[in-house]
């Protein structure tokens, strides 16, 4: 299996090491072979090649079966012009590879429920999968430019029906494998694109009669995520709403550092990355939480390589490790065993073998 590794910036490099170690363990245990090809992206690529997404990196990703990404960005590159910034590398890869479906599972770990900013009775039992459309909408719509001598600016929210259909299909299929409930989020009382979105959902639901569906306005969804996160199963929404809601949801459990994500297309090719950022403040100190990256590697095994058993093995090893009391400094947990990146990775590997 050909896997491109893009460690990127800050703690990205450190947690990528953890993913490699875990994948090598799985390879040994199950008799697989993963070939890793490392390339530059983001600020690191700007420093080395003057480009957040070098051609060489893009080409490698286009040939890979899966891409693992650490994290990109940092203050150092914040003042560069928009098209030279680390994030451009990320947006470019998503678009160029056609990775239209961003999967963001948010699940409260029993061992960590008390670190949530929410009361335990509110967060307990929550298990949400947010599916965000990733290659359309305001992120890519044209025109996006200055007008009237720079005294005005315009961005464009544009969706074609087929773009909505494929993400809605993905969402229904995902709901089928879970608790069979889908919440579609839009702003149909204001936006024409949302009304098209809602029409597509209404049409598609005929094909998935076993899945229950409701529509929620994005403002109401932002409220309900806080007041009753346990009421959601799968949520599907357009690019920008998904950006906001999935980040809001990612802090509900109090363990952002634990969360993985996948950005996939229909043939199984995907890019996998932890939800957390590059955390320049703790970079290089060996204290980053590697679990988000390790669980992203598990998602890769499941979605790109169809290795369900291996993925589940990693996930249960992580669970066991948390239950043994291991935690990194970000988890704000009292008692237990406070460890760094390397020991945490070691502990997970112990639980795999």
Is residue 145 within the footprint of ligand IPM (CB under 6 A)? Answer: no
Note whether 83 binds ligand IPM by CB under 6 A. Answer: no
Alpha-carbon gap, residue 219 to 186, rounded angstroms? 9
Distance CA 40, CA 49 (A): 9
Tell me, what DSSP letter sits at residue 180?
S
Whats the size of the chain, residue-wise?
Answer: 353
Q: Are 168 and 131 in contact (CB under 8 A)?
A: no
For residue 219, indicate whether it is catalytic: yes
Q: Taking CB under 8 A as the rule, does residue 53 contact its own copies?
A: no
Residues 208-227 contacting its own copies, CB under 8 A: 218-220, 222-223, 225-227
28, 62, 156, 173: which one contacts its own copies (CB under 8 A)? 156
The smaller minimum CB distance to its own copies, of residues 261 and 345, is found at: 261
Question: Cα–Cα distances in Å, from 214 out to 118, 183, 235, 324?
Answer: 25, 5, 10, 39
Among 142, 189, 206, 353, binds ligand IPM (CB under 6 A): 189
- Of the listed 187, 204, 233, 330, which one is catalytic? 187
Long-range pairs of 330-333 with CB within 8 A, sequence gap ≥ 24: 330/255, 330/256, 330/257, 330/288, 330/289, 331/112, 331/115, 331/254, 331/255, 331/257, 331/289, 332/115, 332/254, 333/112, 333/114, 333/115
Chain positions 222 to 261 lying near ligand IPM, rule: CB under 6 A, are: 243
Q: Is 247 a catalytic residue?
A: yes
- 31, 50, 148, 177: which one contacts its own copies (CB under 8 A)? 148
Q: Closest distance between its own copies and the C-beta of residue 25, in Å? A: 32
CA distance 281 to 211: 44
Q: Are 352 and 298 in contact (CB under 8 A)?
A: no
Contact range with its own copies by CB under 8 A, out of 13-21, 248-256, 262-270, 309-317: 248-256
Q: Is 87 in the site for ligand IPM (CB under 6 A)?
A: yes
Which residue lies nearer to ligand IPM by CB, 154 or 190? 190
139 is known as an active-site residue: yes
For its own copies, the closer CB: 30 or 158: 158
Q: Can you say how many angstroms the Cα of residue 73 is from the centroid of all Cα atoms in its chain?
A: 16
Tell me which residue of 89, 112, 122 sits closest to 230, measured CA to CA.
122
Q: What is the dihedral of CA 57, 63, 66, 68, to 10 degrees?
A: -10
Say whether residue 230 binds its own copies (CB under 8 A). no
With 0-12 / 13-18 / 19 or more C-beta atoms within 10 angstroms meaning exposed / middle / buried, residue 136 is: buried
Q: Any bridge partners for residue 106, and if so which?
A: 128
- Annotated active-site residue in 47, 56, 214, 247: 247
Phi, psi (rounded to 5 degrees) for 331: -85, -5
Give the nearer residue to its own copies in terms of CB position, either 141 or 340. Answer: 141
Pick the piece of the chain touching its own copies (CB under 8 A) from 59-67, 242-250, 292-300, 340-348. Answer: 242-250
Give catalytic residues, as residue numbers.
139, 187, 219, 243, 247
User: Which residues are near its own copies by CB under 8 A?
Assistant: 82, 85, 87, 91, 116-119, 122, 138-139, 141, 144-148, 150-162, 187, 189-193, 195-196, 218-220, 222-223, 225-227, 240-241, 243-245, 247-248, 250-252, 256
User: Which residues are near ligand IPM by CB under 6 A?
Assistant: 87, 90-91, 189-190, 219, 243
């Amino acid at each position: 299996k050909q896997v491109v590794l893009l460690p990127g910036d800050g703690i990205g490099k450190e947690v990528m090491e953890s993913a490699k170690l875990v994948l090598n363990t799985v390879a040994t245990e199950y008799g697989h072979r993963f070939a890793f090809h490392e390339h530059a992206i983001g600020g690191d690529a700007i420093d080395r090649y003057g480009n957040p997404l070098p051609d060489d990196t893009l080409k490698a990703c286009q040939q890979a079966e899966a891409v693992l990404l650490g994290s990109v960005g940092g203050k150092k590159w914040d003042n560069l012009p928009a098209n030279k910034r680390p994030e451009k590398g990320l947006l470019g890869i998503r678009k160029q590879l056609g990775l239209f479906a961003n999967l963001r599972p948010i699940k409260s770990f029993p061992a960590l429920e008390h670190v949530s900013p929410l009361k335990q009775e509110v967060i307990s039992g929550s298990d949400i999968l947010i599916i965000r459309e990733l290659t359309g909408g305001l992120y890519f719509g044209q025109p996006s430019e200055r007008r009237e001598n720079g005294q005005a600016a315009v961005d464009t929210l544009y969706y074609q029906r087929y773009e909505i259909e494929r993400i809605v299909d993905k969402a229904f299929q995902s709901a089928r494998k879970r608790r069979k409930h889908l919440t579609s989020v839009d702003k149909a009382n204001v936006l024409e694109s949302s009304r098209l979105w809602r029409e597509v959902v209404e049409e598609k639901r005929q094909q998935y009669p076993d899945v229950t569906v409701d529509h929620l306005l994005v403002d109401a969804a932002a409220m309900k995520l806080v007041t009753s996160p346990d009421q959601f199963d799968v949520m599907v929404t357009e690019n920008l709403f998904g950006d906001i809601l999935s980040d809001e949801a990612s802090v509900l459990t109090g363990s952002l550092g634990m969360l993985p994500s996948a950005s996939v297309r229909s043939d199984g090719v995907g890019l996998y990355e932890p939800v957390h950022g590059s955390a320049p403040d703790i970079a290089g100190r060996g204290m980053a939480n590697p679990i988000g990256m390790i669980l992203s590697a598990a998602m890769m095994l499941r979605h790109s390589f169809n290795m369900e058993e291996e993925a589940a093995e990693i996930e249960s090893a992580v669970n066991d490790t948390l239950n043994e009391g291991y935690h990194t400094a970000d988890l704000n947990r009292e008692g237990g065993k406070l460890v760094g990146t390397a020991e945490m990775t070691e502990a997970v590997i112990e639980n795999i073998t």
